Amino acid sequence: MKGTTSAIGRNRGVAPKASFQGRLALSLGITVAFVLVEAAAGLFANSLALLTDAAHNLTDVLALALTWYALRVQRRPAGAMNTYGNHRAGILVALVNSTTLVLISLGVFYEAYRRLLAPSEVVPQVLVLVGTLAVIVNLTTALLIRRRGETDLNVRAAFLHLMGDVASTAAAVVAGVFIYFTGANWLDSMASVFIGLLILYNAWGIVRESVSILLEFTPRDVDMNRMVGDMLRIEGVQGVHDLHVWSLTKNLRTMSAHVLTDDVSLSAGSRIQQELNALLAVQYGITHATLQLECANCGPEGLYCGLEGSDDVHAHH
């Protein structure tokens, strides 16, 4: 009966994943088609804002393609060579996507500076028309993947790519309207600077979060002192040391710790572990905890023990 229930749970999970990958593929197709249109319009209108956004959209193509591929890789089962599975494939893709955005921002700043020194004449009608179309296309593709981006850093990076396009093309449309009425062609370059700053801001957050996960930093919303205090309030827990908390992905957290107890029976130790696992899952979102029970006063006392076996590298709790 248990096996049947598990099979049903797995089957229920296949449809949503397949459905999302279909929406992702649709977003990819729409974006590819629009990149060609926007690049041609940018060349015709001599608009740096449109060309910048077309380049940004081109990275969206790469971002969506890598996101789609990472989702496929993540579904592969764990094995002897990858005992944790392939969950971090999405984190690597998020890092690649966000780093690409940072490099594009730097290129945009350089080109905008060059054009501010020697403004080029822009065709504002084309800028407004294509920019408006771009807002609609980018918003549509972003909404197709929005919900999954709330829990998946990889998808979130792709979503920010698209939402950055929505804001940047809106800025290009505003610039086109002002250029039409004032003839101030330098506004096109200023719109590009705004686009670059927006891209850089969004990208930096993803880079920082991706790196912190890959370097196995403690999740920022986990207060280690509070967590240890909560653990010590469990009946039978005398102390905690060799504590490590890290993330495999944005929402998949894991932990290992040595828990000091009295010399208790196996059944009593199992009860302690169950209560600790429930606490960690409910209060801190840690659903995979490896807890090693030890008799009090038989092991090292440092809360955070270095893996190299040296003396404690952090202050004693």
Mean pLDDT by 10 residues, the chain (317 residues): 40 50 76 82 77 72 75 75 76 81 80 76 78 82 70 70 74 82 80 79 82 88 91 91 86 88 88 93 90 72 54 42
Q: Which pLDDT score is estimated for 301? A: 55
pLDDT of residue 245: 93
Report the amino acid identity of residue 49: A
Query: Could you give the CA distance from residue 120 to residue 117 in angstroms, rounded to a whole number?
Result: 10
| N-to-C CA span, the chain | 46
Among 22, 88, 61, 72, which residue's Cα sits nearest to residue 158? 61
Structure tokens at 80: 């002897």
Rounded Cα gap, residues 282 and 227, in angstroms = 12
Does CATH number 3.30.70.1350 belong to domain 224-295? yes
Structure tokens at 189: 């370059």
Domain boundaries, the chain: 2-214, 224-295
**pLDDT number for residue 282:** 92
> 2-214 in CATH: which number?
1.20.1510.10
Asked if the domains at 2-214 and 224-295 fall in one CATH topology, the answer is no
Do the beta carbons of residue 296 and residue 279 sit within 8 Å?
A: no
H helix intervals, 146-185: 153-182
- Per-residue pLDDT tens digits for 230-278: 999 999 999 898 899 998 877 788 999 999 998 888 888 899 999 999 9
